[in-house]
Amino acid sequence: MSRINFNSEDREKALEYWRPSVEAIRADAIHGSVYLANQALEIVEDFVQRQLYRNRTELIQNLAKLSNALVRAKPLMALIYNRTKRVLQFIQNLPKEEKNIQVIKELTLEEIQQIRKEAEENFQKIARLGSRLILDYHVVLTHSSSSIIEAIFMEARKQKKRFRVIVTESRPLLEGRDLARRLAEAGIKTRLIPDADITRAVKDAHFVLTGTDRFTETSFINKTGTHAMGIIAEYMNKPFYVAGETDKILLRRTYPVRFLQGEPTQLIDNPPKSLSVDNYYFEETPIDFLQKVVIEDGIFELKEFVDRYL
């Protein structure tokens, strides 16, 4: 068990040893929300494990500060918000009679393990359910790189379904290109396209399938370009499906939607002073573009999903 000198002038700094790890999450523009939410939970777990707090009040106060920093680092990723808040609420809801900080620590660590277990179970459920959407000879279009969508494709491959996938390269960081490579290496027939070629891709596909970082009351949030894909799919009468955990539901009235920009240099080096550069990774897409939503509880038609969850 780690200890610090609580009378030291460096006390606050010592309690916030996690800031470089949070900054690493903020700077990570490659990995998806499942990976980063797992990283965030590891940071929370490490803080609880170190026991740099003397009582429940100090634990809650400092864990709330860590939770808020993680949420601000990735404000669109509902998994980070919901999982860190769940840990805080668990501690707050423990019986007030429980004063033993060691017991509180152990119970909290058990709750974190339970969150991990449930998350993995839900992930596997969605992979199995989503694979039902894919039939032999289907062509499926996806945008960017979502771990849950990749798992759905891998599950369909495991079931020996014969299908093809079209993947956008997903500029500026090209995470779609990496996804296309992994799918092809797994034996899935895959076509990689530039983002600008989505009209042709929608025409060739039987349906569009993407992941999401967050569901709000009226939208879902995914990589920039998803909205355009939804417009084209609706115009061409092609179904649009989204897969994601219910932990990705985070209503706007609970926490505002805030978009952060990436580095301008990812689009252009040494831009002239008169040139402004917008490099938003994510955007909101109206949920009305969707026909079905795949979550761990099942495959829902849009209206039923909205009525039950939003």
**Mean pLDDT across 4-16:** 65
pLDDT confidence of residue 252: 95
Pair 130, 209: CB distance under 8 Å: yes
CA–CA distance, 114 with 102 (Å, rounded to integer): 19
pLDDT confidence of residue 11: 65
pLDDT 10s digits, 205-239? 999 999 999 999 999 999 999 999 999 999 999 99
Other CB atoms within 10 A of residue 172 CB? 17
**Mean pLDDT across 72-97:** 97
Entry pTM:
0.93
pLDDT 10s digits, 36-62? 999 999 999 999 999 999 999 999 999
CA–CA distance, 96 with 87 (Å, rounded to integer): 16
Higher pLDDT, 73 or 7: 73
Flag whether pLDDT at 8 surpasses 70: no
**Average pLDDT over all residues of the chain:** 95
pLDDT confidence of residue 1: 46
Other CB atoms within 10 A of residue 72 CB? 13
pLDDT confidence of residue 289: 98
The confidence band for 10, taking pLDDT boundaries of 50, 70 and 90, is low
Flag whether pLDDT at 71 surpasses 90: yes
Q: Half-sphere exposure of residue 288, counting CA atoms within 13 Å on the CB side? A: 3
b (16+ CB within 10 A) / e for 151-169: bbbbbbbeeebebbbbbbb
Question: What six digits make up the tokens of 44?
Answer: 């929370």
Domains (range + CATH), the chain: 11-123 (1.20.120.420), 127-309 (3.40.50.10470)
pLDDT confidence of residue 245: 97
Flag whether pLDDT at 281 surpasses 60: yes
**Mean pLDDT across 270-289:** 96
Strand order, beta sheet including 219-223:
214-215, 219-223, 282-286
- Residues 6 or more apart from 27 whose CB is under 8 A from it? none
Angle between helix axes 56-73 and 33-50 (nearest 10 degrees) is 160
b (16+ CB within 10 A) / e for 271-280: eeeeeeeebe
Pair 141, 205: CB distance under 8 Å: yes
pLDDT 10s digits, 152-177? 999 999 999 999 999 999 999 999 99
Flag whether pLDDT at 119 surpasses 90: yes
Flag whether pLDDT at 106 surpasses 50: yes
Q: Residues in the chain, how many?
A: 310
